[in-house]
Amino acid sequence: MRKRVVRVAVVAVMVALVLLATPLAVGIQRSFFADERGELERAALAAAVRVGAKFASGDHTELPTGESDARVGLYDLAGRLRDGQGPATADPVTRRAMAGVVARGRDGQEMVAAVPVSTAERVTGVVRAADGTQEAWGRVTLAWLALAGTALVALTTGVLVARRQARTLSAPLEALSATAVAVADGDLTARADRSAIAEIDQVARTQNTMVERLTTLLEHERHFSANASHQLRTPLAGLQLGLEEAAADPDTGHLRAAVEEALERSRHLQRTVDEVLRLARAAPGPQVSERAGPLTGVVDRVERRWHGAFAAEGRRLDFVLEPSSRALRIPDRTGEQILDVLLDNARQHGRGAVDVTVRDMGGAIAMDVADEGSLALEPRIVFERGATTSRSGSGIGLPLARDMARAAGGRLTLVRASPTTFTLFLPIPEGE
């Protein structure tokens, strides 16, 4: 690109110089020759003034000398050279002046100016002044060389400016191309820098916006896959375990109970899938859940799912609902999913008894999930994806729960690090 910019600039400068220098060179030539003819005419006039009246009567008259480099000659009306320098007989230019007019022209390699000499309003002779064209051409040539030198300096300056401008123009474009190559190679953090050119900055901003949107889409897809695998792992494991126990025990009563539990878990799986898909399709910012259910139903389902898991580890799980909160309705799918994440986090990373307290905050429901352990992570990174202190952790659950709460118009916060206590705030739908 740099070569093309320089080439275009040089061609433009050359065209401008040609268009400017050609008429200027012609004007210089005409001006210098006009000056030379004017000098000859002034020399002839000066000599004609010195010619006395005696010349008309045929007396000898001498022309003044030394006032001009021109060859000055005096001719009578017969065309004979009477004094000074010039051809022996009058040339055509001199003969035209015999008519009483100032004549100019060329005689071979000489420029000629002829001025009539008048006495008593009668032409009595002609003064002829002539000089060679070599001196005029010498002056024209020097002027043309000066003009060519000026044009060369202008062309050199144009080339230097063009090269600098080419670097200025091509550098941001080359950087923009390098950024595009880096993005194509998988570096989604690459961004185009600002430059001093508004048009290129606009292209860079457009490219950065495109990369940011692509990055958001790719992260959205990756998060969806991670969220789905995280949320489905525990329900699927419980479903598989229940079916394996039913298959090992041929008792009809146990089989019926296992089938009912499997149906309940499959319905929970369906709700999980719907919630993860809803979160994946949600636009940034709060998106209040479309469906609200009784708070007591949410608590009952969560307690049934997790009571056995904690009991199997010898740990207590208690749910406490304030009386004023029992009749309220909340975004039930979101509430179940977030409670599942918090209880799974307490079972894997906490210790001791787990208490879930539900409080009516007036326009919102607050759910406190507390265990007797201490948070191993720094509070400032607890909701960052991938942040975990154990091999069994994935660092997905808590960030996912926070995103679900935000999408429902709520908030999930860490209240205390020891004993570990999380609080979920969910809005109560209008009219409740």
Helix (H) or strand (E) holding 174: helix 133-184
- β-pairing, 110-119 vs 103-107, is antiparallel
Mean pLDDT to the nearest integer, 243-249: 65
Q: Could you tell me how far CA 90 lies from the centroid of its own chain? A: 80
What's the pLDDT score for residue 282? 57
* Residues 43, 37: Cα–Cα separation, whole Å: 10
Residue 340 or 266, more confident? 340
What's the pLDDT score for residue 368? 94
Report pLDDT digits (tens) over 388-426: 655 555 567 788 888 888 888 889 999 998 899 999 999
What's the pLDDT score for residue 354? 94
Percent of the chain at pLDDT > 90 equals 13
Tokens 């399709």: give the residue: 281
Report pLDDT digits (tens) over 309-344: 899 899 999 999 988 888 888 887 788 888 988 998
Residue 358 or 53, more confident? 358
- The pTM of this model reads 0.46
**Is residue 41 within 8 Å of 102, Cβ to Cβ?**
yes
Q: What angle do CA 120, 124, 128 make, to 5 degrees?
A: 125
Please determine, for residue 244, whether its predicted confidence score (pLDDT) is greater than 70. Answer: no
Report pLDDT digits (tens) over 61-88: 677 665 667 888 888 888 888 888 889 8
What's the pLDDT score for residue 120? 74
Query: What six digits make up the tokens of 123?
Result: 């032409």
Query: What six digits make up the tokens of 19?
Result: 């268009």
Mean pLDDT to the nearest integer, 239-262: 64
Q: Which of 40-54, 176-190, 254-268, 391-405 has the lowest mean pLDDT?
A: 254-268
At 252, the pLDDT band (50, 70, 90 cuts) reads low
Under CATH, which number does the domain 289-427 receive? Answer: 3.30.565.10
Query: What six digits make up the tokens of 24?
Result: 């200027």
What's the pLDDT score for residue 52? 67
* Residues 96, 338: Cα–Cα separation, whole Å: 118
Residue 71 or 264, more confident? 71
Give every CB contact of residue 123 below 8 A, 6+ residues apart in sequence: 77, 98, 99, 100, 116, 117
Residue 48 or 269, more confident? 48
Query: What six digits make up the tokens of 250?
Result: 């041929």
Q: Which of 96-100, 115-119, 242-246, 283-287 has the lowest mean pLDDT?
A: 283-287
Q: What is the dihedral of CA 5, 9, 10, 16, to 10 degrees?
A: 160
Report pLDDT digits (tens) over 3-56: 777 788 888 888 888 888 889 999 988 888 888 888 888 888 888 877 766 676
Tell whether the torsion through CA atoms of 347, 348, 351 and 356 is positive or negative: negative
Residue 139's CB is within 10 A of a number of other CB atoms, namely 17
Q: Which fold has domain 2-150?
A: Beta-Lactamase (3.30.450)
Q: Is 45 left (phi over 0), alpha (psi -120 to 50) or beta?
A: alpha
What's the pLDDT score for residue 371? 94
Backbone angles phi, psi at 104, to 5 degrees: -130, 150
At 279, the pLDDT band (50, 70, 90 cuts) reads low
Please determine, for residue 151, whether its predicted confidence score (pLDDT) is greater than 60. Answer: yes
CA 402 to each of CA 216, 384, 396: distance values in angstroms, whole numbers, following the listed order: 18, 10, 10
Give the domain ranges of the chain: 2-150, 289-427
Pairs from 28-34 (Cβ < 8 Å, separation ≥ 24): 28/140, 28/143, 28/144, 28/147, 29/140, 32/136, 32/139, 32/140, 32/143, 33/111, 33/133, 33/136, 33/140
Give every CB contact of residue 393 below 8 A, 6+ residues apart in sequence: 348, 349
The DSSP line for 247-314 is HH---HHHHHHHHHHHHHHHHHHHHHHHHHHHHHHPPSS----S--EEHHHHHHHHHHHHHHHHHHTT
CA nearest neighbour of 277 among 321, 333, 329: 333
Q: What is the dihedral of CA 144, 146, 147, 151, to 10 degrees?
A: 140
* Residues 69, 216: Cα–Cα separation, whole Å: 90
Please determine, for residue 95, whether its predicted confidence score (pLDDT) is greater than 60. Answer: yes
* Residues 167, 160: Cα–Cα separation, whole Å: 11
What's the pLDDT score for residue 229? 58
Give every CB contact of residue 134 below 8 A, 6+ residues apart in sequence: 109
